[in-house]
Amino acid sequence: MQDLLDFLTLKDANVTYVVLGMILLGASSGIVGTFTFLRKRALVGDAIAHAVLPGICLSFMLTGVRDPFLLLIGATATGWLSLLVIDGITRNSRIPTDASIGLTLSVFFGFGILLLTAIQKTGNASQSGLDHFLFGKAAALVGSDVMVFAVMSALLIAVVWLLFKEFALLSFDPDYARSIGRPVRSLELVLASITVLAVSLGIQAVGVVLMSALLITPAAAARYWTNRLGIMVVLAAFFGAISGVFGAGVSYIAPSMPTGPWVVVILSVIAIASMLFAPERGVLARSYKQWKFRRKIQDENVLKEFYHIAEKNDGDIFSIRNIVEISGRRGFSTRPLKQSLKRLTRKGLLSSNKASWQLTEEGINAAKRLVRIHRLWEVYLSRHLNIADDHVHDDAEAMEHIITPELEKELLQFLDQPETDPHGSSIPY
């Protein structure tokens, strides 16, 4: 508890550096990663994350110092080079994009490991800590690192803010952007540049292995909560920042736990929770909607059956029906049928008397509407799509549950209120 209080109050200056650095890194990565995610370029982010390692090593070998700004320049250079290589392989060969990404990733990363091994054998004392770029070590962040993070994060956010509309258009419809005269190629280069910069910025904290997760996971989690790009960007930044804070907290309270991997673990928890519990796009919400729709179909089929029984037998739609009659033609299962009858009774569409039911006035209108929509759709398929009369029933069976009153009105006007369906059955009005 004392460790937790110390962390929350930021008594230790080093803790302050780590927390600020992870907030800046998580927020900027989430913002930039949103457009990478929407453009379906997640693997490109992974390739860049692995390709920056040789740039870091070369920068150290040329300068002999482990200056964060110089290392960032080297990382950005090789990250950019990896994008050019991927683009060149894809354009000038028959190798598909995913294969070119995998090829570039492995070659650059292998070369980086080779350089890192060579540096470690030189005995240069300044090379201490370079191996942290493989898996990251956020606890090693110092004031100068945070300053670099702050400047670069501000640059990334400013670029996204200034070109937000252009990036949005590029992410959703690049062909339209090209047709209205937008410089699509230049925008792609700018977006690629800030992606490389964001990746280069983060590898010191989470490492080349996990950086792609920090780039993509916040955006993937945010996508479940909204359909608006602006809100998605803000949520991605928030998820990235909050995971950085919690990751740093876990690492501080349990020193044996590394910060970078915990940041990714917390992001994964957020993404899984979003996937399950998001109100519109979450798995549980969609399952609930599907369950409700299946119940609606069941109830409407039962309601429609009352009309068909009357039409086939005595013609009296007000007649009382028992459960054997209702389940006869369609073969409803007894338990779901009883549940539907109870729901329809509660809604006032049926009236119940012990083990028998009959339609109310409201129920009659609802049953007629379902039959009417079904038969109108059969007429439409037969007349205007030239589908054989014996093939229209199943399509109409599905459409009758989703056609809105507005569409029904248009359908009536379009078909000029036909009297019978293709099978000769009258259409109730």
Residue 323 has pLDDT above 90, yes or no: no
Tell me the domain boundaries of the chain: 2-278, 285-359, 364-415
Residue 255 has pLDDT above 80, yes or no: no
Query: What's the mean pLDDT when you consider all of the chain?
Result: 87
Task: Convert 31-60 into a string of H (helix), E (strand) and C (coil).
Answer: HHHHHHHHCCCHHHHHHHHHHHHHHHHHHH
| Token representation of residue 321 | 């029906």
> Quick one: pLDDT at residue 129?
62
DSSP state of 427: P
Q: In the predicted model, what is the mean pLDDT of residues 310-315?
A: 77
> Quick one: pLDDT at residue 260?
79
Weakest-pLDDT range from 139-148, 179-188, 344-353, 360-369 = 139-148
3-state secondary structure of 80: helix
What does the pLDDT look like over 61-72, one tens digit per residue?
Answer: 888 777 777 888
- E strands, 105-152, are none
pTM flag (> 0.75): yes
Q: In the predicted model, what is the mean pLDDT of residues 306-310?
A: 88
> Quick one: pLDDT at residue 301?
92
pLDDT class of 344 with cuts at 50, 70, 90: very high
Weakest-pLDDT range from 101-115, 183-197, 307-321 = 307-321
> Quick one: pLDDT at residue 101?
87
Place of tokens 């109310």: 360
> Quick one: pLDDT at residue 294?
93
pLDDT class of 8 with cuts at 50, 70, 90: low
What does the pLDDT look like over 22-63, one tens digit per residue?
Answer: 888 899 999 999 999 998 888 888 888 888 889 888 888 888
> Measured between alpha carbons, how far is 164 from 391 in angstroms, rounded to an integer?
50
What does the pLDDT look like over 372-420, one tens digit per residue?
Answer: 999 999 999 999 999 998 899 889 998 999 999 999 999 999 999 999 9
| Token representation of residue 8 | 């929350």
> Quick one: pLDDT at residue 290?
94
Residue 204 has pLDDT above 80, yes or no: no
pLDDT class of 225 with cuts at 50, 70, 90: very high
> Quick one: pLDDT at residue 7?
61
Stronger pLDDT, 323 or 224, i.e. the higher one: 224
> Measured between alpha carbons, how far is 240 from 237 in angstroms, rounded to an integer?
5
> Quick one: pLDDT at residue 235?
96
For 186-195, which contacts have Cβ atoms below 8 Å and span 24 or more sequence positions?
Answer: 187/163, 190/159, 190/163, 191/35, 191/36, 191/39, 191/167, 192/80, 192/83, 193/80, 194/32, 194/156, 194/159, 194/160, 195/32, 195/33, 195/35, 195/36, 195/41, 195/44, 195/45, 195/48
> Quick one: pLDDT at residue 314?
65
> Quick one: pLDDT at residue 123?
66
3-state secondary structure of 420: strand
> Quick one: pLDDT at residue 6?
63
**Percentage of the chain modeled with pLDDT above 90:** 39
Q: How many residues does the chain have?
A: 429
Residue 174 has pLDDT above 80, yes or no: yes
Residue 125 has pLDDT above 60, yes or no: no
Partners of residue 162 on adjacent β-strands: none
Q: In the predicted model, what is the mean pLDDT of residues 240-244?
A: 91
> Quick one: pLDDT at residue 163?
93
Stronger pLDDT, 232 or 207, i.e. the higher one: 232
349 touches 362 (CB < 8 A): yes
Check whether domain 285-359 has CATH 1.10.10, yes or no: yes
CATH of 2-278, one of 3.10.20.600, 1.10.357.10, 1.10.3470.10, 3.40.50.300: 1.10.3470.10
> Measured between alpha carbons, how far is 204 from 135 in angstroms, rounded to an integer?
8
> Quick one: pLDDT at residue 119?
83
| Token representation of residue 145 | 């690192």
Count Cα neighbours of 110 within 13 Å in the Cβ-side half-sphere. 6
> Quick one: pLDDT at residue 1?
66
Residue 126 has pLDDT above 70, yes or no: no
312 touches 426 (CB < 8 A): no
> Quick one: pLDDT at residue 131?
67
> Measured between alpha carbons, how far is 264 from 217 in angstroms, rounded to an integer?
8
3-state secondary structure of 421: coil
pLDDT class of 3 with cuts at 50, 70, 90: low
What does the pLDDT look like over 149-165, one tens digit per residue?
Answer: 888 889 999 999 999 99
| Token representation of residue 204 | 């010191």
CATH of 364-415, one of 3.90.1510.10, 3.20.20.70, 1.10.60.10, 3.30.390.30: 1.10.60.10
Burial 13-28 (b: 16+ CB within 10 A, else e): eebebbbbbbbbbbbb
| Helix-, strand-, coil-residue percentages of the chain, each rounded to 5 | 75, 5, 20
